[in-house]
Structure 1
């Protein structure tokens, strides 16, 4: 890889690791001195601004140079995390202040996401772009494993404040790394462009102009919803029927291994119709849902989860690459923000709905229904003509 691509990978890895530290750090910090309600308030304070600001962030990603938006977003996240570190290191945790800083973090996440996608598109092209997205997914997967472990170790050794301090430092490193990336194209002046509302409407019009995108986004929303159900009900079933907590640990580790293997393979397999692979890979998540619904032995459930998460690892780089290639560069931030919005909203809904559903119907029915839904929703995407045809490879217009 070129020095620019190594810099991109290093910056995105720092940001991914920092992001993975946050939930565990906040959870451990709040539960020691607060209640479950306090924890819910702090976590919701981060999620809600993220959801509300994503459409705005999509416009910003298309309106301004991607590297500058990413720089600003990472610096704001760094400042918020350093503020949280100061709160945690200074004494008893103030929940309102913690919630306010979490809200700032969530707002910055909203702006960083769409611009990071456009930044990847700005410095990569063709087959190289898929390989880069594959490496980024592997780094994100490793960070999702290492982050909670590092946060827990720091909490036990020196306290949660030091975990937030590390998070702030990592976001600063990401800002300095990604903010200095050189991209080609015109300068990112916003003058002479339509107003915000007009650009937002144009972004939605561009989104509706891609049936393949809308079909996949809705199907992926179903996947995120069912994943929330499994992450809530799976551990309960493992403890009750599959051999205890150790069984869930094995299942979770199998899923992580599958996701990493799928992401690694995405940049190496001879994929001629990427969206067909995306649809089939997403539908494979029906396997672990059905395995847990039927309470199949732990080894079988672990194998099913390995396959299901392997599909997730495979589809993510392929999906990112197809968005970056098929959507015009000048609308990539706005179109991509709708994808992020559905993903961010659907997973918490599945997590929240799992327990009430299980209390009424038991755990089998929701998971079986979820298995049918995720398979049907994702395989039905194959009915869209643009999904089955590999379009001509055309380089995306250079981003500013």
Structure 2
């Protein structure tokens, strides 16, 4: 492993942990003195700029060297979190200012997200990308576990402001790792690349060009739409799952068991993604997404706790396998000069649809009960993702490409 790859892994791990600290820190800071509505305003203030700016960020990612864009995004988030920490340490919670700083953080996420994918593609040689994407996914999964615990511990010991300052320090540390990266492929925005200054069209033309490039890849559009279905279903699961667990599976502790089983499955999945002898990565992606139907059906049918926990474990194992395979296929199949714009569409669907599922869960359950929405979501998730396998360019994969390189 080269020093550039080690720096990339270290930096993205720090950024993942910082990102995981933010929601818990804000929740613990706002709820004691505010209301659920105040918390919703602050969290929405981060999400909305992220969604609005992602298409713009995709163009920026394809216009400029990825390392510079990620550096700027990390520094912006570091500054926003440092200001949040100072705000929380120097006076009462001020919802308006927290919302503004959350919006700045969301903008940093939007601009960093598409460029990170391009950064990996430019720094990591093609044969090593699956391994690196798997390790990045492991780091992200561990951060999702450690972040809330660390934020809660900091809150209890020192206060929410110090948690935000720790978050700022982690983003700054991530920015520092970018200085030693050595690209192995020509980055967008460089003098000789297809996206260099001499070849640039107008912003609107480049935005349309990204959509045109996405339409050239039916496998991509079909998968993005299918993933949107399971993101919506995941919102339903997160909203209705705890309710069903409390009512029918033995109380709040049963949901903790189900959630922890899923966490174990996800970590094993991302670790195994580069080690499984998968001949056709997009087949693996489709199956990994389709098994998200299992816990939906188990909860809808009120199956025993052990069965439901096992179903969630299998589903999150599939998600763990899916994530690095999908990232690697995007980096392999999408031209580097369009990867930011095409990838931003994927991220936009991921970020936007799950909150819709969360919001729709209660109204749907109020009309039909909890079982019907979950069963419908399970059927749609399985059908949409397995249906992707019917596309000709995905069916041909098992014939015209070599097996995915496995790890030693």
Q: Same fold, TM exceeding 0.5?
A: yes
Q: Which secondary structure does the structure 1 equivalent of 2:342 belong to?
A: helix
Question: In structure 1, what is the equivalent of residue 213 of structure 2?
Answer: 206
**Equivalents in 2 of 1:110, 1:388: separation in Å?**
34
Give the 3-state SS of the residue equivalent to 1:270 in structure 2: coil
| 8 Å contact from structure 1 (residues 62, 330) kept in 2 | yes
Equivalent residue number for residue 286 of structure 1: 293
What is the CA-CA distance between 1:217 and the residue it aligns to?
Answer: 0.2
Distance 1:386 1:10 in 2: 36
CA distance in 1, matches of 2:394, 2:180: 36
Equivalent residue, structure 2, for 1:242? 249
Do the aligned residues in 2 keep the contact of 1:257 with 1:306 (CA within 8 Å)?
yes
Asked if the contact 2:286/2:388 (under 8 Å) is kept, the reply is yes
How many residue pairs match? The answer is 393
In 2: Cα distance, 1:101 partner to 1:232 partner = 27
Matches of 1:369 and 1:238, distance apart in 2: 19
Q: 2:354 aligns to what? A: 347
Partner of 1:104: 104
Q: Displaced runs of 4+ in structure 1, greater than 2 A?
A: 184-192, 388-393
SS in 2 for 1:33: coil
Q: Residues of 2 paired with 1:179 and 1:231: CA distance? A: 39
RMSD of aligned residue pairs (Cα, Å): 1.1
Unaligned 5+ runs, structure 1: 394-400
Cα offsets for 1:282-333 (capped at 9, x unmatched): 1001110000000111110000000011000000000000000000011000
| TM-score relative to the length of structure 1 | 0.96
Deviation at 1:125, TM superposition (A): 2.7
Q: Distance in 2 between matches of 1:283 and 1:314?
A: 12
Deviation by residue 1:44-81 (Cα, 9 ceiling, x = unmatched):
10000000000100001110000000000000000000
Give the Cα separation in 2 of the matches to 1:71 and 1:345. 25
Correspondent of 1:328 among 315, 318, 335: 335
Is 1:176 aligned with 2:183?
Answer: no
Whole-Å Cα distance in 2 between the matches of residues 175 and 326 of structure 1?
28
> Hey, what does 1:398 align to over in structure 2?
none
1:188 and 2:190 correspond: yes
**8 Å contact from structure 1 (residues 273, 388) kept in 2:** no
Paired residues of 1:68 and 1:179 also in contact (CA < 8 A): no
State the Cα distance separating 1:179 from its structure 2 match.
4.3
Matched, 1:133 2:133: yes
Query: Hey, what's the Cα distance between the residues in 1 that align with 2:32 and 2:163?
Result: 15
1:209-232 CA deviation, whole Å, 9 max, x = no partner?
000000000000111110010011
**SS class of match (2:201):** coil
